[in-house]
Chain A
């Protein structure tokens, strides 16, 4: 699945995955690298499950999947962990989707306070209103990952590069 910005005739880039809703629907954001307009792909639960069952991750994955990841993550009524013994305990969730969900939950539950400099705030105002909340969230996520307390135009620029825009 690919998205093209009609105005710029540019392929849109993956921006962020907002994770799963309770019913299994998914929200994924794509942004045009030229004009920064964005779209949100919303999947219904069946479509989400279809992607999940292929063993791939929307937005890519930096780490290879764990052995039997799909089966162990999604099979109901499994034997206990003692009966399927893990020789090297894995840390965190094995599932890329549930990892995304957890990330989202953690972000929601414990938002770190970030300062926006006047210049950065002014620059953010120039982002089209439609995409502004998503841009803000993407930049703040990047800043938290980098341990940055204050968002400046330089941080915005770095975030933009990091997101491949």
Chain B
């Protein structure tokens, strides 16, 4: 009977399994100081995940929590800009890189902090033909390095801003089995809700990660002059759940929020009394209740 793969202990000297295991142990050791890790995700792009992430970070920091943010959107990083740390120098020692410090000392790591210029895309050295073979793995390993090789220190909460789609959550779930849950962002359109419901199914039913709740973003337009609200999208049923996931809040669009993001200041810190900031605070409160209770809302 010829030998099969599992009949042979080891791999002849490379010890790849041990190298991967060592990576996992280093990640686990680094995450030991992180009380809660929460992903902000959506199946759909352009719904405001990064804006929700930065404002959630500011909400928790304002509550006195020690907050870290990982921009897991490797190819379209925006967190560094929105938290005002673009161009900050990173310090590296033998054990890791020190995160940039944003408002209220929010600790930030983003691919943007490694790129040379505004227009520099993420390009990897390597064979430029058939990059689909290895590009995804490279991005996965970058996320692993963001988790493992950053001096996060003691954190009360680590927020991960995921790119659109469901694949990065699956990657994150592999890397970080201790992920406490995810916040799902959508907008009030049938198309968005159709796509986002797939993300919820992936997160909750296939990956078995708790879905903390849903954020319905850009629900209305708040006039910056008179404060009245107007619908941005055609009216949809005002459901309190989507695919069984409870609603954490409806966040109206305020153009000043976009301006605040451009300035690198979370809107929740700039105009705390505005309807948009208050809705974001309500979302933050929902997440806070979840992490304090230690059990999923859904």
Measured CB to CB, the residues of A under 8 A from B are: 1-4, 6, 9, 11-14, 23-24, 30, 45-50, 52-61, 64, 66-80, 82-88, 164
Interface contact B16-A56, CB-CB below 8 Å: yes
Q: How far is the CA of A77 from the CA of B19 in the complex (A)?
A: 28
Given contacts A14-B12, A30-B12, contact A49 B134 (CB under 8 A): yes
Binding stretch for chain A, among B48-56, B89-97, B275-283, B287-295: B89-97
Considering only CB atoms and an 8 Å cut-off, how many residues of chain B contact the other chain?
50
Out of B92, B113, B134, which one reaches A50, CB within 8 Å? B134
A to B CB contacts below 8 Å, 22 in the list? A2-B11, A4-B2, A4-B8, A11-B12, A13-B13, A53-B134, A55-B144, A56-B16, A56-B19, A60-B14, A60-B15, A66-B94, A67-B93, A67-B94, A68-B92, A68-B96, A75-B115, A75-B125, A76-B125, A79-B115, A85-B92, A88-B93
Out of B127, B133, B149, which one reaches A68, CB within 8 Å? B149
Interface contact A4-B3, CB-CB below 8 Å: yes
Interface contact A68-B145, CB-CB below 8 Å: yes
Interface contact B127-A46, CB-CB below 8 Å: yes
| Nearest CB in chain A to that of B130: its residue | A46
Interface contact A2-B23, CB-CB below 8 Å: no
- Closest 3 A/B residue pairs (Cβ): A14-B13, A45-B127, A67-B149
Out of B22, B91, B123, B145, which one reaches A71, CB within 8 Å? B145
Contact indicator per residue, chain B 135-153, by CB within 8 Å of chain A (1) or not (0)? 0011011101100010000
Interface contact A75-B124, CB-CB below 8 Å: yes
Q: How far is the CA of A46 from the CA of B11 in the complex (A)?
A: 21
Interface contact A45-B126, CB-CB below 8 Å: yes
Chain B neighbourhood of A68, CB < 8 A: 92, 96-97, 145, 149
Interface contact B13-A49, CB-CB below 8 Å: no
Of listed B93, B125, B129, residue having the most chain A CB within 10 A: B125
Chain B nearest Cβ from A47, distance in angstroms: 8
Q: How far is the CA of A82 from the CA of B113 in the complex (A)?
A: 13
Interface contact B127-A49, CB-CB below 8 Å: yes
